[in-house]
Structure 1
Amino acid sequence: MISQLTHLNWFSVLCAFIPYFILGGLWFTVFFGNPYKTSLGKGNETLPNSPIFIAGPAICCLIITITTAMLIYALNVNTLSGALEFAMVAGIGYLVTNTVNIAINPNIPRPIFYSVISGTYHLVGITIVCIIIVAMK
């Protein structure tokens, strides 16, 4: 599986990573900023701004994009329908489910609301990643 790293189109990985990362910035500020803050129980607050809140998601999106590309190559996904199918399996099976699992803790006062906002972001993001990786394969 690790051998897939040498076969990847790294330009496609970069082209898939960028919109996934940018989507996150827009998703949690412009598109769903207030609902996101509400899901965290901080509806009337300004969320802290620190480099970790930019660098951390960027690194995570990059790792998710690279891993997705490796799996797409290993599984020989070559069609748009295959990319969409893979996005749904990986997106729902891993990203959305893990988001829900993370949200179910005492520190997130509205875990289902948080899960819908964050899980949907990851599902849309992984779909974009899969389409770009397969299209540029």
Structure 2
Amino acid sequence: MIDALTQVSWLAVALATVAATVVAGVYFGALVPQAYQRVLGRAGQPAPAATPVTAIGPVVCILATVVASAVLVAALDLTTATDAVVFALVVGVGYLVAMTFQIAINPNMPHPLRYGLLNAPFFLVTSLTTSLILVLV
């Protein structure tokens, strides 16, 4: 598995990270901002002020996910678009969507299932996008 690090396409990692960051901006900034506020129980409240953590943190998390996926893509020797889609669905559903629901299901989340359902499409789309880039670039 350590050998897979030498096979990672760092250009693909960079492109996938940028692509996922753009998808996040469009999804959460343009497509679902009001719905997101509602599932957080913050409907009608002003958005919290941006901080370095809220500005940079998501990009760092996306990068970590993309690097982990890149290592797995290399270790598994995935080379086709079909490989990428299958990998994306396994990672997207098995890890990303499942963890979204797991994080949401707690007493502090006012609408955990709605939160998971709202976030799941983002994670599936980014998993598909990044996996295709990692395999095909």
Measure, in 2, the Cα distance between the counterparts of 1:19 and 1:78.
20
Which stretch has the larger CA shift, 45-54 or 97-106? 45-54
State the shift of 1:47 in Å: 2.0
Aligned CA RMSD, in angstroms, stands at 1.0
Counterpart CA distance in 2 for 1:80 and 1:109 is 39
Over residues 93-134 of structure 1, what are the superposed CA-to-partner deviations in whole Å (9 max), with x where a residue is unaligned? 000000000000111111111101112211110110000111
Distance 2:56 2:102 in 1: 23
Moved more, 97-106 or 2-11: 2-11
Q: Kindly state the Cα deviation for residue 3 of structure 1 after the two structures are TM-superposed.
A: 2.5
Unaligned segments of structure 2, at least 5 residues: none
Name the structure 1 match of 2:51.
Answer: 50
2:38 is aligned to 38
Partner of 2:26: 26
TM-score (norm 2): 0.95
In 1: Cα distance, 2:2 partner to 2:55 partner: 28
Instruction: Read off the aligned partner of 1:5 and give its amino acid letter.
Output: L
Write out aligned runs for 1:1-137 (5 A). Answer: 1-48=1-48, 49-136=50-137
Secondary structure of 2:51's match?
Answer: coil
Q: TM-score, normalised on structure 1? A: 0.95
| 5+ residue gaps, structure 1 | none
SS in 1 for 2:66: helix
Code of the aligned partner of 1:69: A
Instruction: State the 1:2 CA deviation.
Output: 2.6
**CA–CA distance in 1 between the matches of 2:113 and 2:17?**
27
Query: C-alpha separation between the residues in 2 aligned to 1:119 and 1:9?
Result: 27
| Paired residue type of 2:100 | T
